[in-house]
Structure 1
Amino acid sequence: MTTAELVALNLPYLRRYARAVTGDQAGGDAYVIATLEAMLANVPATTKPSDNKIELFRIFSKIWNSLSVNHADDSTPSSPSEARLKQLTPLPRQAFLLVSLENFSEDEGARILGVDRATFRNLLDVAGRELAEDIATDVLIIEDEPLIALDFEALVESLGHRVLGVARTRDEAIKLAAERRPGLIVADIQLADGSSGLDAVNELLTMFEVPVVFITAYPERFLTGERPEPAFLIAKPFRPNHAAAVISQALFFERNARPRRRAVA
């Protein structure tokens, strides 16, 4: 494919990202145009769509971050979800969007922002914590391994959430949720008594809507491309900063989806 064809293939994604970063489509498009001019002037030797996409986003980020005015943004967001994003400091916000919105890997995100992997992970950690402070909620943990449950309790509390309880079995989970409805469920897929965290969650979802983050040592068994599959998944052993980012993503995108669901209903 030619450079022009590769750019055209990835342009819609860059425009989406630019809108999320700037908070405005017209403003985002202005940076996209500057990115295209800079890229085509240098004509990087990329032959794959993935490499071209990374290069597009890298140049956009370099231009955006070079302007100090973008680190003191006081423009008016157009939706509650954009308002929450704009509360994030600029680099953590970009790291969050690169991973959660554009599905870049941590290594790719680090290349785009021009930082090393450790720094990028720290930016994700900051984003997770800043978002969680704004969308704190009650969390039900469904986990049969005591040490992992304790780790998740400490993690969600460090993000500003409240742990309403820890369930080791399907029946305990349903009982706890009936007593006090959670705003988020973090659930292991395989539980101590042989019951399934998936079964527990599916039953709870017939009672009320709630974002769910699943925990499993075998993510490849569930990310098969078939439906249904978990939208938010944490693999064991988990990294605290990655888990924090996934939890914040689940809450952020659930709250972003509510107005759309109401509009359709």
Structure 2
Amino acid sequence: MSRSQLVAEHLPLLRRYARALTGNQASGDAYVGAMLEALLQDQTLLDEQHGARAGLFRLFTRIWNSVALNDDTEVMTLPLPSERRLSNITPLPRQAFLLLSLEGFSEEEVAFVLALDVAEVRKLTEVAGREMAAEIATDVLIIEDETFIAMDLESLVKNLGHNVIGVARTHADAIALAGTRKPGLILADIQLADGSSGLDAVNELLKTFEVPVVFITAYPERFLTGERPEPAFLISKPFQPAMVSAVASQALFFQRNSRNRAPRAAAS
């Protein structure tokens, strides 16, 4: 397999990680684009000591960490079509946790990606665990038509300290449930068995209120092309509890920071 084929093979999941780090599709895809431009200019930047995928994530991390910030939190170096504010930066512990839980890297691979040693990675993931445990509990709407998956999600989010306001199995059910009580987080399957779309349901709900959304799909590569509006937070079926916990916490992290900035923005 050629170098370009290897890179293309791993791009979708790198986009997923980048979007989870930045909180939205545009910023995440822009950082991936910056990494690709750097790689085109100098292919020796790709260190394949732990394989091509880990090498790409390591190079991405170097690009991500190369953006300097001043006190006004403006982007200083890379000409990316997005702002990178200090309060939006995913802390290093969360980076380590996402690499382990969302992307499935080993501790040794995470250490390689972040240019740390394994002991430091373990300390970071412990910190991330404490941070996520301290997240403010919220009301969760689950949009999932598969009974056993819905039951697993319901049990999982309850164990994380959240309240489940209901499980919707169709587009219409989701709209009805959200009408009775506005959720603080939505976990949504993309393709529902009756032919309706969890993505369409979420888009309709977002017209009336803002809420972080984590999409769940058996075919993540279909929604990580970077060619159209796509989800910022995406996990794959089958999923591990730590994966759902990490991504849901990350989505709430950005919502909380957005709310914390709102009064300051209004005052300025």
Spell out the pairing of 1:209-224 with structure 2 (5 A cutoff). 209-224=210-225
- Report 1 or 2 for greater relative contact order, CA contacts < 8 Å, sequence distance ≥ 6: 2
Aligned to 2:140: 139
Task: State the partner residue of 2:199.
Answer: 198
For 2:139 and 2:219, the matched residues in 1 are separated by 27
Give the match for residue 95 of structure 2. 97
Picking from 97, 117, 140, the partner of 1:114 is 117
Distance in structure 2 (CA, Å) of the matches to 1:153 and 1:132: 17
For residues 1-265 of structure 1, what are the structure 2 equivalents within 5 Å?
Answer: 47-48=44-45, 54=58, 94-98=92-96, 106-107=105-106, 108-111=109-112, 112=114, 113-115=116-118, 124=125, 127=128, 130-260=131-261, 263=265
Letter matched to residue 139 of structure 1: V
Structure 1 gap segments, 5+ residues each: 1-45, 59-78, 86-92
Output the CA distance in 2 between the equivalents of 1:193 and 1:178.
Answer: 21
Comparing 143-152 with 123-132, which one deviates more in the overlay? 123-132
Separation of aligned partners in 2, 1:125 and 1:195 = 40
List alignment gaps of at least 5 residues for structure 2: 1-42, 48-54, 63-85
- Please give the root-mean-square deviation of Cα atoms over the aligned residues, in Å: 3.7
Distance (whole Å) between structure 1 residues aligned to residue 149 and residue 194 of structure 2: 17
Give how far 1:202 is off.
0.4
1:147 partner letter: F
The secondary structure found in structure 1 opposite 2:192 is: coil
Q: Distance in 2 between matches of 1:203 and 1:52?
A: 36
Change (3 A) 1:242 1:100: closer
Q: TM-score, normalised by structure 2?
A: 0.58
Residue 122 of structure 1: how far off its partner (Å): 10
Percent identity, aligned pairs only, is 61
Offset of 1:151 from its aligned partner?
0.8
Q: Which has the higher helix share?
A: 1
Shift of 1:257: 2.6
| 1:48 partner letter | L
The structure with more radius of gyration = 1
Normalising by structure 1, we get a TM-score of 0.59
